[in-house]
Chains A and B, each alone.
Chain A
Amino acid sequence: MHTFAYARPTLLAEAVALLEAHGPDARLLAGGTDLVIRLRDGTARPGVVIDIKRIAEMRPSIREEAGCLVIGAGTVMTDIAADERVRRSYPALAEAAAVVGSVQIRNRATLAGNVCNASPAADTAPALLVHAARVVAVGPAGTRRIPIDGFFVRSGVTTLARGEIVTAIELPLPDRAMGAVHVRRTRRRGHDLASVTLCCGVDATGVTRIAYGSVGPRPVLAVDESGVLADPTAPGAAKEAIFERLFADASPSPRSMRASPDYRLAMLRVLGARALRIAIDRLAQA
């Protein structure tokens, strides 16, 4: 591994100043499960690594605040998957957090890191899209809240501005009942990246939100407001037509090693139909 300067600020303002001063030559270190791999293989060669884990605002925490469940940037997947409030109100997020990597990875990997790494295959991204999460970013110009659908650009690229640091992910507390589920397809059980990762949420007003990843340069959110998908009595052909529209933005890469485009597109439809059934059942039980 090449060497770098290691900074361990305790104040958020120090971290913002460092990031602003060094720009692309600085990398933030949270759980390190992506960054340390890239430091070692040389695909990231920052001059300075800024460890955010000693900053008070970044400490692991899941708290209710101003109509939101707020997940602090230092919170790891293990704690999100186990949190009673997440499991009750955002079960798809708890399910997604529970399948990221292995136990060892989930004990280090943070939700904020998963989002900022912006992998198209990030398992938590579809759940955050379905639940209309917001990314809280603090930068030289102050704090802004970025709707998650406006955050992802492509692998490794987000709409964060220079000097901005993600301090939390906010989930609006649900104002109506929703049934939601996360499903995915991997090559093997256990520890693997998703060939398709998908989340479906159906709410009490009949709106269906489907988000999917690992089938294009960024995770995609698609919404059906017609009520057809949510209606268990609607004809299959009508549902299929809507699914085709919702999946129109899938464009899997032919270069990926994990699965062929044809396989991913076929599995997207299988997982979509499966997740819709589970989400409708969960809504009925809610």
Chain B
Amino acid sequence: MSESAAAFPIELTVNGHRRAIEVAVHHTLLDVLRDDLGLTGAKECCLVGECGACTVILDGRTVDSCLVLAVEADGSEITTVEGLADDRGLSPLQQAFLDKGAVQCGFCIPGQLLSAHALLADNPHPSLPEIQEGLAGNLCRCGCYRQITDAVLATAERAER
């Protein structure tokens, strides 16, 4: 069938910036973030909600953006990995990923960071099993799970109790 579906106007707040755009109804939030808004941090990979490479935070909760139609996100606030750092530099979580050597090829890291960011926002001092469950939806083919969980633990330890 035709790819030129009727454009549907939506409004998103992406990393704090209000965006009014027109999207095709059969395009996913991942398609729109990458192709229409130029935010390529979220990655396209399994496209069935198993790998987590496309993870973004939608209204405070992580989602697989490959399984969300862009029109469904109309009116939502979205955080992508591009929104984690600020003018002063990397977030403590991002710095911990570097310090612990958690980044090998880097493909899964935006998703890992956002899942870890959402986990720590909910539960600032998670146990190791809580971290493993919290990140179970993010696969790393380089096998850096140990370093990734170390980075999350280190960030949690530095957070105020």
Which residues of A are in contact with B by a Cβ distance under 8 Å?
Answer: 1-6, 8, 29, 32-33, 36-37, 39-40, 49, 51, 53, 78, 101-105, 107-108, 189-191
Contacts and interface: CB of A to CB of B under 8 A. Distances in A.
14 contacts: A3-B1, A4-B25, A5-B25, A6-B25, A36-B67, A36-B68, A39-B26, A51-B72, A102-B50, A102-B136, A104-B55, A104-B62, A108-B68, A190-B136
Contact of A101 (B1, B5, B49): B49
B49 A103 contact: no
B50 to A, nearest CB: 6
Contacts of B71: 6, 8, 51
Contacts of A101: 49, 137
B69 A103 contact: no
A29 B137 contact: no
A47 to B, nearest CB: 10
Interface string B128-157: 000011101110000000000000000000
Contacts of B2: 3
Contacts of B87: none
B67 A191 contact: no
A32 B69 contact: yes
Q: Which of A29, A78, A108 has the most CB of B within 10 A?
A: A108
B76 to A, nearest CB: 11
Nearest to A45: B1
Contact of B68 (A4, A6, A32, A190): A32
B67 A3 contact: no
A4 B71 CA distance: 12
A155 to B, nearest CB: 17
A102 to B, nearest CB: 2
A83 B8 CA distance: 36
Nearest to B5: A3
A51 to B, nearest CB: 6
A179 B108 CA distance: 41
